């Protein structure tokens, strides 16, 4: 008997064997249990996740003569005819090769006739988005009001290309991309049934290369079995996929932990001699950083794929901030790698960027805790340093220079509406508990969210908890905003006076009748 590839040999024949699509199988099982079958189903998802397989299982189930827990029995004449490819009431079409409207009309010519073997006549149209617009129009009427003995099962990788008139007449199921763990588990089960020796870490590598597609994963597994002469091991899989071994990645991480740029470049140079896939190398680096970040937060979160001792050492050698920064830079670098002049240059710049943006270590600071005496909280040490005073920790009011409201605003790190609010206020007084400001009622609308930001900035400036009280009342004193406007007006008037007094301007006026256009004069600074 001819060899059958794993993806076909181990294709699921009932809902129980489906991998990673429980949300679809459960819905279809419930529909079979309660006899609430829709006349048209649309299965969508990326390649190799089971769209056509689910459609075939459903087609078999709704015609099976002896369902077992809503799964095809596999023993009745209908199930055997399905498995042997001779069930006459299953019309399976590849829309990619039959896109013309004539093909669709020929297909639907016999739709009114009753089924020959089963209860329902099944039209399974794969890659349905490839049909032409006229083909969809020919299908639409039948799809809207099909005979009671007909079911339509449609599958596509690109549902956006299907007209909404068709989509609205179908019950749509979106099949998920499979997780690497799900693919690796299924690979392990299949290899166990096939009595083939394998390395679990090699299966994880293959499952990541499958990129969410179980069919692609089983095709890679077939290739790995042949490459490894009947077994699956990590070294052969890495060589087959063109991936680098873990050693260069581990060395890169140790060099990053030591901030050794020279060693980083040397490792990349030595690895380049093996013509590796630098994109895969960066992906491995990201997986290591992810595992290090997990171990830093959850010390027992280890994975057999990674060297536990190495991960523990790196988790201690790197700060959590550095790990997060390296991961983010690597993630962006992965996206931009193809834009680099060549991959080696791209990964070198990613690694150097990690070190360039690494925060410099600051000298350790030990802030003095506030001393609590006689039910009074003394000023923090930082505030005492910023405003030197002669009395120890019993200051009840800010120093005199802090009462200058424009100077306080200049020292605050604020902008936008918060700065506008501050500029339109005048300082009434500041005591231990609160900062009292006055604002003209016309400008009261500036408050709201800006008020909380201004309070936070004042607390940071004075170095202690401080309330902010803004009273709306007519303000006699000039606000910083008014003072700035007056200064602008004075500069503008000075510029106009300077132009009017200029002898050259006067000569032009007298000789040529020149005049100065209003609004055309602006101060230089």
> Which distant-in-sequence residues (6+ apart) come within 8 Å of 427 by Cβ?
403, 405, 408, 435, 436, 437, 438
User: Are the beta carbons of 59 and 82 closer than 8 angstroms?
Assistant: yes
Phi, psi of 232 (to 5 degrees): -125, 110
Radius of gyration of the chain (CA): 38
| 320 touches 359 (CB < 8 A) | no
Q: Is the distance from CB of 295 to CB of 307 less than 8 angstroms? A: no
Q: How many helices (H) and strands (E) does the chain have?
A: 23, 10
Q: Quick one: which H or E segment has residue 264?
A: helix 261-272
Tokens of 128: 């349905």
Give me the pLDDT at residue 43, please.
95
Question: CA–CA separation, 335 vs 344, rounded Å?
Answer: 14
The Cα 453–Cα 433 span in angstroms is 17
Interatomic CA distance for residues 423 and 478, integer angstroms: 10
**Those residues with Cβ within 8 angstroms of residue 481's Cβ, 6 or more apart along the chain or in another chain:** 420, 423, 424
Nearest to 232 by CA among 184, 204, 198: 198
Prediction pTM value: 0.57
Residues 119 and 76: beta-carbon distance below 8 Å = no
The residue to which tokens 């050794």 are assigned = 260
Neighbours of 291 (CB within 10 A): 21
Mean pLDDT split into 10-residue runs, the chain, 525 residues:
84 90 92 91 92 93 89 89 88 83 81 87 91 86 88 92 91 91 93 92 88 90 91 86 69 90 91 81 90 90 79 89 93 90 92 87 46 38 38 41 76 84 88 86 69 86 86 84 87 88 87 82 78
């Amino acid at each position: 008997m001819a060899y059958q590839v794993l993806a076909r040999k181990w294709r699921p024949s009932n809902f129980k064997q489906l991998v990673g699509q429980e949300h679809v199988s459960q819905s279809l099982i419930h529909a079979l249990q309660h006899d609430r079958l829709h006349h048209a189903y649309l299965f969508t998802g990326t390649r190799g996740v089971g769209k056509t397989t689910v459609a075939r299982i459903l087609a078999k189930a709704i015609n099976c003569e002896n369902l077992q827990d809503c799964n095809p029995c596999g023993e009745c004449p209908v199930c055997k005819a399905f498995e042997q490819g001779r069930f006459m009431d299953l019309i399976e079409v590849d829309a990619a090769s039959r896109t013309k409207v004539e093909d669709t009309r020929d297909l639907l010519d016999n739709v009114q006739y009753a089924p020959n073997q089963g209860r329902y006549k099944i039209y399974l149209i794969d890659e349905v988005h490839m049909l032409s617009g006229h083909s969809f129009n020919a299908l639409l009427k039948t799809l809207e009001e099909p005979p009671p003995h007909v079911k339509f099962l449609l599958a596509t990788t690109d549902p956006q290309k299907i007209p909404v008139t068709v989509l609205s007449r179908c019950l749509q199921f979106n099949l998920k991309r499979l997780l690497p763990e799900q693919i690796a588990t299924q690979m392990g089960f299949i290899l166990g049934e096939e009595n083939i020796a394998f390395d679990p870490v090699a299966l994880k590598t293959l499952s990541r290369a499958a990129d969410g597609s179980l069919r692609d994963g089983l095709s890679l597994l077939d290739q790995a079995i042949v490459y490894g002469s009947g077994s699956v091991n990590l070294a052969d899989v890495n060589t087959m996929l063109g991936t680098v071994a873990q050693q260069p990645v581990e060395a890169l991480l140790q060099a990053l932990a030591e901030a050794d740029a020279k060693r980083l470049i040397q490792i990349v140079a030595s690895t380049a001699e093996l013509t590796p896939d630098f994109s895969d190398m960066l992906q491995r680096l990201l997986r290591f950083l992810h595992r290090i970040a997990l171990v830093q937060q959850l010390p027992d979160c280890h994975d057999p794929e990674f060297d536990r001792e190495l991960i523990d050492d790196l988790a201690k050698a790197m700060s959590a901030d550095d790990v997060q920064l390296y991961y983010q830079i690597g993630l962006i670098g992965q996206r931009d790698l193809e834009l680099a002049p060549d991959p080696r240059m791209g990964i070198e710049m990613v690694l150097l960027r990690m070190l360039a943006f690494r925060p410099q270590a600051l000298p350790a600071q030990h802030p003095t805790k506030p001393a609590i005496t006689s039910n009074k909280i003394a000023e923090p040490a930082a505030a005492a340093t910023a405003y030197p005073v002669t009395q120890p920790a019993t200051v009840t009011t800010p120093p005199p220079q802090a009462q200058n409201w424009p100077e306080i605003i200049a020292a605050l790190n604020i902008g936008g509406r918060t700065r506008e609010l501050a500029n339109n206020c005048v300082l009434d007084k500041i005591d231990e508990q609160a900062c009292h400001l006055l604002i003209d009622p016309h400008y009261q609308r500036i408050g709201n969210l800006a008020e909380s930001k201004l309070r936070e900035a004042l607390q940071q400036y004075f170095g202690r908890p401080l309330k902010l009280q803004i009273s709306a009342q007519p303000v006699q004193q000039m606000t910083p905003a008014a003072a700035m406007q007056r200064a602008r007006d004075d500069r503008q008037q000075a510029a106009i006076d300077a132009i009017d007094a200029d002898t050259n301007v006067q000569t032009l006026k007298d000789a040529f009748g020149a005049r100065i256009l209003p609004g055309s004069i602006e101060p230089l600074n």
